[in-house]
A and B are shown apart, each in its own frame.
Chain A
Amino acid sequence: MMRFLPAALVAALLAVAAPALADDPIHLGVQSCAGNNCHGAVQPIGNSRVPQNEYFTWSQKDKHAQAYTVLSNDRSKRIAKNLGIEDATKASLCLDCHADNVPSAQQGPQFQISDGVGCESCHGGASPWLGPHLTGESHAANIKAGLYPTDQPLARAERCLSCHLGGDKKFVAHKIMGAGHPPMPFELDTYTAIQPAHFVVNQSYVERKGRPNDIQIWATGLADDVKKRMDLILDPAHAPKGVDFELSLFDCQSCHHSMKDLQWRARTTTGLPPGRIKLYDATSVMLLIVATRIAPPEVGKSLVDHMLALHKASGENWDAVKREATAIRELADKLVPIITAHDFTKEDAIGLGHTVVVSALDGNDLDYSGAQQQVMALGSIVAAMKQLGYADDKVIAALNQALGGLYDAVADDQKYDPDAYLRALKAFNDKLPS
């Protein structure tokens, strides 16, 4: 197989193989991976373990491939202008998430910033591991050499959320939103699927990486999301100065909704009076559902108490906000190993599905952000039921059809109608095995 490698790639490999350190590996560029007998094949070659069309899935269907290109469109130009940035394609503020923006010392000869979020943005700079990877090393050996373990739920959550939520280094502050950046909904398992995934879970995958459980991926993503959100609240850069406050910590639709509808509802997980801005809590509410199912009862109890206290403090007392955020962060952190170790059974899948449905049906969380997380949660649960054989094909088909109705109901936040959503939810509930 080696003999078909492009000469340039061989040269690049030879050039970088020795000096590359695991900490700051060289990013060799998408081209290094896209050889037509590596990951750029139109069909699997011989008895390959992987589909080999990963490059085409990415380049043809995956928006990550367009992440850099969008920085040149009219909208991005306008955003840049609003922010006083001369060129979005040259600003690290934009490039840090819209490209594989590693320092130039880590850019190999075939590296192109214009590839956007390419292979090595997620899988890590390939210089230390491309050699063993090509020579048929085990997955574990590749990881040891520096390949990023995207198959592991927590590692995947960390990697995706570093941009899709952000942290101390990369963060879509409200200033950027206000300049025109779109909102960023996210749920780890659903976004893995709709990317679309360029891996196939077959026998070989399971043997090499274990059988993924969509519910575990969903739950791990939630825990990591809540942890990261609390870190964002605790970041001194986001402390409030009057109204000059990091508004992107709040639920977008808490403000950005029509004034026509009576949308305020009493909610047992916030306790907020009308007219107040609500911290984004959709992932915390979902995490609470997971905790109630699989963790010792005091964890869920404590989580809901601290969530209520956090909402109460938000807008009133920043020291109390920080105290509560710290407590919630600790609880989310505690939940990660519990989730990772838990075997999500058929009973768990169905039980969680019903609890998610009920959380909306009882009117407790019908906010758009809540509905969005509920729909994606149910999507993950159905995916798990299919993948793990928890229901027959007929049931899965009916559930997927009902999911379509749910996705339609949350397709546009400006047109979201809680009553239409509830109807779609009831239709889904009817198909969910008891």
Chain B
Amino acid sequence: MRSLLAVLLLLLAAAPSLAQTETPIGIHIGVATCAGSNCHGATQRPRNSYVPGNEYLIWSKQDKHRNAYNVLLQDRAIKMARALGLPDAANQKLCLDCHADNVASDRRGVQFQLSDGVGCEACHGGASRWLGIHISGATHAQNVAAGLYPTEQPVARAEKCLGCHYGDETRFADHRLYGAGHPRLAFELDTYTAIEPAHFVVDQSYIERKGRITDVQVWAVGQAIALVKQMDAVLDPKHAPKGFWPEFAFFDCQSCHHEYGQYARPTTTGLGPGTVKFNDANAVMFKVAASRVAPGTASALSQHMLALHKATQDDWEAVQREAKAVRDAAQSLVGAFSHHDFTGEDMRALADALFALADGDAQFSHDEQITMALEAITTGLKASGAIGDQKAQAVDNAMKAVYAAFPNDKSVNQDAFAKALKGLQQAMRR
């Protein structure tokens, strides 16, 4: 502990000199800097601390972000790299941009280690500018003003997470990468925050410092931003069709990667059997949220999505036109979603809309998003007290049954799923 403290003091001493040559984004000074045993590397809450203090341990023991770099050294990653014509994965910008805190070398501090994977500063921002005031008890607002990334804000969190978990203008898992063996990227902001697992606890102090942010807000904002990012990628000239194939990563994985037994069911796309379906899971979820908050936008979005599905088959210019309209619709509700006070009534209505959607839809990508949306809603209902303690256990058990209906990444046990949803609906009744 002494040595850590010494390192920390050294770093603090270095801070002014860093400030002089400061880049607008700051130096990433490394996980070790944050993991002091009386900072975020404690096993029990340090005296007078607002926060649990064990953030580092949760991250290092339980969070897959911690192993993001290490997996690049494993057999699978090496095989993938070979398939892509690369000598390895652990030295490639293509991989490191999401599997590590891959900032430029002049922004890496002395204790920075690439092998820490997706560490503290990958999400919270390079700490050189704000570590000093952060340690000396500045308010959260001051820390944020100094450069701490506001991960508690749904929009900011969505932007940060989806930059890798969907992709952005510099990072994108295209179908070549999937074909080489990259796993499918599934994501829903609120659920993934929880299962990370979260290294924060929403208590009185948290609410006083950061405000009360509800799970359903996080879910809805996450859907809107995911849809914006998907449409941005569709509009990106880099991902325009080469030859006559479009970028398959925009399409619903299970639209092709399914067993023959699961033959066509009526879908909301207007497309006939045997067609490759654009991944519309975020759009469908966005529509559910929008129907409650801004019904006009929801119905406009539906029209544009239908036109987009039709256009994906044969007219990429029309796809781009529709993608622009879908993007605008999604962007227009980001603010509304992040400020909307989702009441118990709202949450129950959203759950009902999801139950209705699941009934007879039967598409893996939709069912997966429905499941995670229900996770966010039931968490929200419990947090708000709309589901009391005596019902909470039954709801949790019912949620587990819903998850259990996914035996693998390409099929849903439709009977088990329908039955589990009925069970959840029952458990959620007042």
Contact = CB atoms under 8 A, between A and B. Distances in A.
A273 B179 contact: yes
Interface stretch (B191-199, B224-232, B245-253): B245-253
Nearest to B258: A256
Given A176-B274, A178-B264, A259 B184 contact: yes
Interface string B250-274: 0101001111100110000000111
Interface stretch (B15-23, B30-38, B78-86, B292-300): B78-86
Interface stretch (A240-248, A324-332, A394-402): A240-248
Given A242-B316, A274-B179, A258 B408 contact: yes
Contacts of A255: 256-257
A318 B245 CA distance: 11
Interface string A259-294: 110101010000001111100000000000000000
Interface in A85-132: none
| Range class of the B interface residue count | 35 or more
Given A255-B256, A316-B243, A179 B263 contact: yes
A252 B76 CA distance: 24
A174 B179 contact: no
Q: Which of B184, B241, B257, B316 has the most CB of A within 10 A?
A: B257
A275 B275 contact: no
A242 B314 contact: yes
Contact of A275 (B174, B243, B272): B174
Given A273-B176, A277-B245, A259 B83 contact: no
Contacts of A260: 408-409
B183 interface: yes
A82 interface: yes
Contact of B274 (A174, A273, A318): A174
Interface string A387-410: 000000000000000000000000
A78 B274 CA distance: 14
Contacts of B52: none
Nearest to B266: A82
Interface string B207-230: 000000000000000000000000
A336 to B, nearest CB: 32
A78 B409 contact: no
B313 interface: yes
B263 A275 contact: no
A94 to B, nearest CB: 14
Contacts of A351: none
A315 interface: yes
Contacts of A173: 274
Contact of B273 (A175, A266, A275): A175
Contacts of A247: 274, 276
Interface in B169-183: 174-181, 183
A239 B308 CA distance: 22
Nearest to A83: B273
B239 interface: no
A277 B264 CA distance: 21
B345 interface: no
Given A178-B263, A243-B245, A82 B273 contact: yes
B304 interface: no
A184 B265 CA distance: 21
A242 B313 contact: yes
A334 interface: no
A241 B314 CA distance: 5
Contact of A240 (B179, B244, B312): B244
A257 B83 contact: no
Nearest to A274: B179
Nearest to A254: B256
A323 to B, nearest CB: 15
Interface of A is mostly: loop
A182 interface: yes
B245 A256 contact: no
Contact of A175 (B242, B257, B274): B274
A302 interface: no
B315 A242 contact: yes
B64 interface: no
Given A180-B263, A243-B313, A275 B180 contact: yes
A183 interface: yes
Interface in B314-357: 314-316
Nearest to A258: B410
Contacts of B313: 241-244
Given A262-B76, A264-B181, A274-B84, A257 B257 contact: yes
Contact of A259 (B85, B242, B253, B316): B253
Given A180-B263, A244-B313, A275 B176 contact: yes
A277 B246 CA distance: 12
A204 interface: no
Contacts of B257: 255-259
A264 B179 contact: yes
A79 B260 CA distance: 13
A415 B127 CA distance: 50
A368 to B, nearest CB: 12
A79 B409 contact: no
Contact of A262 (B80, B177, B253, B273): B80
B83 A178 contact: no
B83 to A, nearest CB: 5
Contact of A243 (B80, B85, B246): B246
A318 B259 CA distance: 29
A260 B407 CA distance: 12
Contacts of A243: 244-246, 251, 275-276, 312-314
Contacts of A241: 244, 313-314
Contacts of A262: 76, 79-80, 83, 181
Interface in A163-190: 173-180, 182-183
B179 A315 contact: no
B260 A183 contact: yes
A48 interface: no
A242 B409 contact: no
Given A244-B275, A264-B181, A82 B76 contact: no
B259 to A, nearest CB: 5
Nearest to B246: A243
A345 interface: no
A317 interface: yes
B89 to A, nearest CB: 13
Contact of B178 (A78, A252, A275): A275
Contacts of B264: 82, 178-180
Given A242-B313, A274-B180, A315-B244, A175 B272 contact: yes
20 contacts: A82-B264, A174-B274, A178-B272, A179-B264, A180-B273, A241-B313, A242-B314, A242-B315, A243-B276, A244-B275, A256-B259, A257-B257, A258-B409, A259-B178, A259-B257, A259-B409, A273-B83, A273-B85, A274-B180, A315-B243
Given A183-B260, A264-B179, A274-B179, 12 more contacts: A175-B272, A178-B264, A179-B273, A242-B314, A244-B313, A258-B257, A259-B410, A260-B409, A274-B176, A315-B242, A315-B245, A413-B260
Q: Which 9 A-B pairs have the closest CB atoms?
A: A178-B274, A275-B179, A274-B179, A180-B263, A316-B243, A178-B273, A255-B256, A179-B273, A244-B313
Interface of B: 76, 79-80, 83-85, 174-181, 183-184, 241-246, 248, 251, 253, 256-260, 263-264, 272-276, 312-316, 408-410
